[in-house]
Structure formats: structure tokens, C-alpha cells
Amino acid sequence: MGRLELRNRIVFPAMVTNYCSTRGEVTDRLVAYHQERAKGGAGLLITEATYISPDGKSFPHQLGIDDDGLLPGLRRLVESVHAAGARIAVQLCHAGRQTSRAVTGLPLISPSVTRFGNDETSAMRQEDIDRVLRDYAGAALRAQKAGFDAVELHAGNGYLPQQFLSPFTNARQDGYGGSLENRVRFTVEAIRAVRAAVGPDFPIILRLGVAEPVSGGLTLEDGVAAARILAREDIDAFDVTAGMREGGMWVTPPLALPRGTHIEKAAAVRQAIQASRPVIGIGRITSASLADSFITAGKVDFVVMGRALLADPELPLKTLQGREEDIRPCIGCNEGCIGRLSRGLDICCAVNPRVGNEYRPLSRRAAIPRHVLIVGAGPAGLVAACTALRRGHRVTVLEKEAACGGKIPLAARPPFKEELAGYAAWLERQARDLGADLRCSTKATPSLIAELAPDVVLLAVGAEPVIPPIPGLAPERFLLAEQVLQQQGPAPGQDVLIIGGGLVGCETALFLAKNGCHPLVAEMREDLCMDIEPRSRAVMLLHLKEYGIRALTSCRVAHIGEGEAILCTPGHAEEHLPCSCIVLATGYRPRTALAEALRGMDMPVYGIGDCHGGTRICDAVWQATATAETI
């Protein structure tokens, strides 16, 4: 990558963790998190967006590089990554408008006056611009002193340089606004300031946002043209991205968007600059084979693998060792990483409970091996089995269905979610390889459990659908969402009322629409899909619109009649809705019957996963791990 030699073409990108102190200091937790990915074989690690100015900070526990007092911690971070054989760059970032007074305690600045959240920004004066350019230079010099191998200047994802580049946020009438050449000027000056600070031989990567999916935003045509202008500057690589906070689903594409989401944009930049610089591609690249296909096709020179390396830091190493089937897959849910970050929390991972806990010792083998009986082979049961087996216990798993996976096979049925099935298969392989005694088509009863004589019982029996007390809702008049996904009906061409507009209801609507039905979703809350993280929700709403699925929100189903439903809408008006089939997606309640039947037996019994109140895969994984580690 220019003057920087790497051991492979895999880049672990900047992903804010909220693991630092409120002053932006490196912590043991951050060091261990990066070292784990370096040990796993990534070629280049890039720190999270690292603020260069106090007013450029986006998150309360974000990494900082705005003061010399931060250098000792930064050096420690660099040394830990180098010791594991990888290289590390620091991403220099100023948030501009994409922050809040609550985080910085300072007025917000941006190219033009605008609102972001609850705050209004001030248009930057020339002295503000000059000060921020000095801050870029000062931060780059600190990076060099700390031993970083490169710096990445963040000019994408809606941060300050992209705010200048985009007509969505730049309405200036001076030399920094108007024409593309003027709007790119701030980024040019930032590059030159950094280059002047670090000298001619220190690598500079430019993360460039080339498109914004908002009305009046940066078009791909202008983004690629900006890359041509910026290629005249002394930079060593382009890291091509897209999106901003207003179009966050494009920044971290969820499962329902295609893999390699932004590769074609990166390829357009590579062609425009005539491959004069290496180009890094990004966007839900989940495997080394997929990455290789993009590189071999000449679309990019390096690939970003972010959430994939959260899910399994050893992905590069396992690939080199021919152990691809052993790689824990990222499921693209965004719940632990982006979802928590959007709520101001530290990140974790839905499928890898070690994320954020790398600084803690791995669980030791149990002092006394036990026989652990697990009822249910869904994600909670299988994760608990693997955790217990690694600790030296003997594990038996009873599953009443013919196959493992719990609700994952059903969750993989709606459009765009087929990849989820791979996670269920991975969990089952892991449990079998570790030595679990998996017994499918075996219903757990108190007598069977007593016969097996376990030391500990973990119940991962899931949850059962809630049937709402709606007048006229007789069993012969409805199907459960689960039954629909199992293709037990309705027939194509039918008008279907889906009661419940959460994730399950909306995914079932997509499934029905794809199969030729005409679904309408009725939801009591004020909007659809309020139970999932914002970026996944945005994609879901987009797909519902593309499929032409109708919805009524803030409404209640008052009565079910013959061939119709009566809905109460806002203002208590009644609406008679013809429908030939009703589908219930009204939530779940924990299954408790087996737990109650086991009371009084002389053995500890614990509930995990859905039967313990969790409703998401991440809940199942975290609860199962924590419980199994106590045995």
C-alpha cells in the first residue's frame, strides 16, 4: 500500500468501540481488542475514528489524538499490534455536525448552518477552518511520534471533510462551496496539512465517501470526480465508502443488503484514477473467498473486513490453515456493534461474546467436570453446549425437532435472510466437533431427565407465540407467522391480514408478498419494526415499500368476523377490512412448563435464551455463555 508493506490484503477498519476513557485515553480493553485481531492475522488495523479536536468528538468514550498527553497510551496500542505481526494506522477524524453538545460540551461547527439532532451548527469561519487544519496536522504528527505505520484521513460517512464535499451540507458561497472543485478544497487542504506535518515518506490513506443516499446529497458521479481531483495529491491509498448518519444503513450494511455493498463504487474510483493508487473496498465482505473474488476481478486491491473480524478475529488465520468451516460467521444483525453504539454504549457482538472482553482471561477448565444436560438445540442451547465442553464438562443435548437450530431455520426463510442458516449449521458443527452428545427427535420429559441423571440442567426450550384475546379469533381463522414460514399457507393470491408489525410480522409480510399473496400489516404502535436496531429497520422499511406492502399503524384489531376484520384506527374510527386469511405475529412468551415440572428435583436448573426472556440471537448467545461459564 504505497510505502507500507502488509502481510496480506485484509484491513480491519475503523469502528468506534466506546472502550476509551472520557478523555479519549487508550485502555487495557482497547489494547486487547486490537491485539486479538492482529493475532488473528489481519494485515492492517485502523483505529476507530480518532478525534483531532475537542469539538470533533462524536462519542463519549471515543479514542482521541488531540493532546500530547495521550501519546503513552497510543504507543502502547501500537506496540501491542506490532508484537502480533500486524500494522496499524490511526484514523484522523473531525465530526463536524455529526456530534452533539452533550458529547463535546462545545458549539457544533460545519460548513454551513444546519441542524443535527437537537443542535444547530455554526457555519465555519476562515479562522475555524485554519484551526481545524492545524489540528489535523498536529494529530498526524502525534500519530507519527506514537509509532503508527500510517494515518487515514476520514473524508467519508458524513464527517467534516465530506460535509464540505456534499451539497447536502455545504451551501457556502465562498471558495469552499459551489463547484465541485471548491467543495473538495477543504479535503485537499487537510491532506496537504497532514503531508507537511509527517514528511514525504509517511503513508497517508484517504477514506473517501463517494455517495450519499439522501435527496440533494453527494452523487456517485461527483464522488468519483472528486476522487480524480484528490488523486493529484500526495496520498498512498483510497478507502472508498458511502453513506452518512441520515443514510446509516449504507455505512454498515445489514444482512438484508447484498454482500460487497460498495465494491462497485470502489471499482469506479479505481478506474477513474487509472489504478494509480491502491483502492480499499468495503461493505459486508464476509469471507476470504468473497474478498479474493473482488481482488481477482480487479475491482479493488485491498478489502475491509470489519464485522466479520468482530465475529471471528481468526478469520484470516483459519483461512490460511484451510479451516474455513470453523470460521464463526457474522450474521449482519448490527445489534451488538452498531445498535449499542447508537445508544451511546460500548460495542459487543451478537455471535462472539469475547468482543469487549478480550482483556479478561478466558474461562478456565472447571475444577470438577460435570454432566450438563441441555434441553433445546437452538442458538442458546448450542452456545451453552460449546462453552461447557470447552470447560471440560460432558454435555448431552436433547432436541424435540428432527434438526438443530431452533428458530434460526425459520428466521432464514424471509427474503434477504438466507445467510442466517449458515450460523445454525456452524453452531451444530462446533458442538459436534467438541464432543456434544446431540439427540434430535427426542422430547425431554422429567422421567427421561431423571434417567439421564445430569448434574446440571440448562433449559433452552424457547418461547411460544402469544395469542391475543381478540373477539372472534377462533383457531380455524388464523395461522401463526411460524406456520406461514413453514409454508403451511395461505395460498397465493389471498388477501392476508398480519396482526403485529414488529420484525416477525414484517418479515412474514415480505415472505408472503414474494410468494404471491397480498399482505396488509396492522400494528398497535406508531410505526413498524420498532423492535430492531435503526439501520436494519431502515432497510426493512425500504423492502416493504419495494414490495408494495400496505400497513396500518396506531390501530387495534377489535373483532374478527367471517371474511373480515374490524380495526379501530386513531380517533376510534372503525374500519372493516376484507381478508381471507389472518396471520398472528403478536410476540412470544417464555415456555415454562418443563421448568415447573422439574421443580423439586435434586439438581440445579437454569433457563437460557427465549425461555428466560431473551428475544434475539444476541440475548441467547450472551445468556448461554454467561450461564455455562458458571458451571
Which helix (H) or strand (E) segment holds residue 319: the answer is: helix 315-320
Say which DSSP state 402 is in: S
Cα–Cα distance for residue pair 396/452, rounded to 1 Å: 9
Exposure pattern of 304-319 as b/e (b: 16+ CB <10 Å)?
Answer: bbbbbbbbbbbbbebb
Please identify which of the residues 51, 136, 159, 423 carries the catalytic annotation. 159
561 Cβ neighbours under 8 A, 6+ residues apart: 472
Contact in structure between 150 and 4 (CB atoms under 8 Å): yes
Cα–Cα distance for residue pair 592/206, rounded to 1 Å: 55
Cis-peptide into 414, omega within 30 deg = no
Q: What is the DSSP code string of 83-110?
A: HTT-EEEEEEE--TTSS-HHHHSS--EE
Say which DSSP state 256 is in: T
- For residue 476, give the 3-state DSSP assignment: helix
β-strand pairing of 588-590 with 463-465: antiparallel
List the helix and strand counts (H, then E) for the chain.
Answer: 22, 27
The three-state (H, E, C) secondary structure of 42-70, written as one string: CCEEEEEEEECCHHHCCCCCCCECCCHHH
Residue 19: active-site member: no
Distances (CA, A) of 305 to 12, 36, 286, 330, 471: 6, 14, 7, 10, 52
Active site residues: 159
